[in-house]
Amino acid sequence: MRNSNKFNLFTLAALSSLAVVFAVTPANALPGQNINTVIKWAKTKPKLPRLTYSSEAHGYSGTKGNLYFYVDVPSEEGTITKEGITVSGDSSIKFTTKNAKAVKLIQAIYNANIANDFSQSRRITKVGRDHYYKGQKYAYILAEVQGGSAFQIINLKQLQEEIDNAKYCQTHQCDL
């Protein structure tokens, strides 16, 4: 009986420790999460703008200085499918795995785990202006856009679908 009580006490202590860690650890805004989590998270990030919903764009977005941040979500209360950052007017930030300023910005917005996953990701293909990268946790779409550089993060399982859609849109008219 004594060993059973020790086991129960140890288990309770371990679960309590985990609960504290999860309660203290801030949420990240990542594809697959609920938009409400992301909105709360964005409010804690000084670099990010206030997000507003647009039914036409199927997501939330905002601009702060030269940074545009957006989150694609199929419905106002739904799950995130894709999100991105575009930086305009700063030629020193080009979203590539080797650009230290870009990786540092990703780390400041998300965390070191995402920044490392991105910086260690490998390029899969290029379709039009978009470069597709595969990390261990997420996939990334990078592009040079007029006046800036764009970074998108998607779930790994969406990578091939995104590539296929981009290839299709090169030969067919697509609504963007």
Q: What is the pLDDT, as a whole number, of residue 60?
A: 93
Name the domain count of the chain.
1
The one-character DSSP state at 51 is P
Overall size of the chain counted in residues:
176
Q: What is the pLDDT, as a whole number, of residue 17?
A: 40
Q: What is the pLDDT, as a whole number, of residue 25?
A: 41
In a domain, 108, yes or no: yes
Q: Kindly give the residue spans of alpha helices, DSSP state H, lying in 1-154.
A: 2-24, 35-43, 100-109, 112-119
In a domain, 13, yes or no: no
* Distance, first Cα to last Cα, the chain: 66
Q: Is the pTM of this model over 0.75?
A: yes
Q: What is the pLDDT, as a whole number, of residue 175?
A: 67
Q: Are 123 and 131 in contact (CB under 8 A)?
A: yes
Q: Encode pLDDT of 47-63 as tens digits.
A: 999 999 988 888 999 99
Listed in sequence order, the residues at least 6 apart from 56 whose beta carbon sits closer than 8 Å to its beta carbon are none
In a domain, 22, yes or no: no
In a domain, 80, yes or no: yes
Residues of the chain below pLDDT 50: 6-26
Q: What is the pLDDT, as a whole number, of residue 131?
A: 97
Q: What is the pLDDT, as a whole number, of residue 176?
A: 56
Q: Distance (Å, rounded) from C-alpha 93 to C-alpha 141?
A: 15
**Cα separation values, 28 from 80, 100, 106, 141, 163, Å:** 12, 21, 12, 19, 25
Q: What are the backbone angles phi and psi of residue 8, rounded to the nearest 5°?
A: -60, -40
In a domain, 176, yes or no: no
Q: What range does the domain containing 128 cover? A: 27-171
Q: What is the pLDDT, as a whole number, of residue 98?
A: 95
Q: Distance (Å, rounded) from C-alpha 176 to C-alpha 170?
A: 12
In a domain, 21, yes or no: no
Q: What is the pLDDT, as a whole number, of residue 2?
A: 53
Work out the mean pLDDT of the chain and round it to a whole number.
85
Q: What is the pLDDT, as a whole number, of residue 75?
A: 76
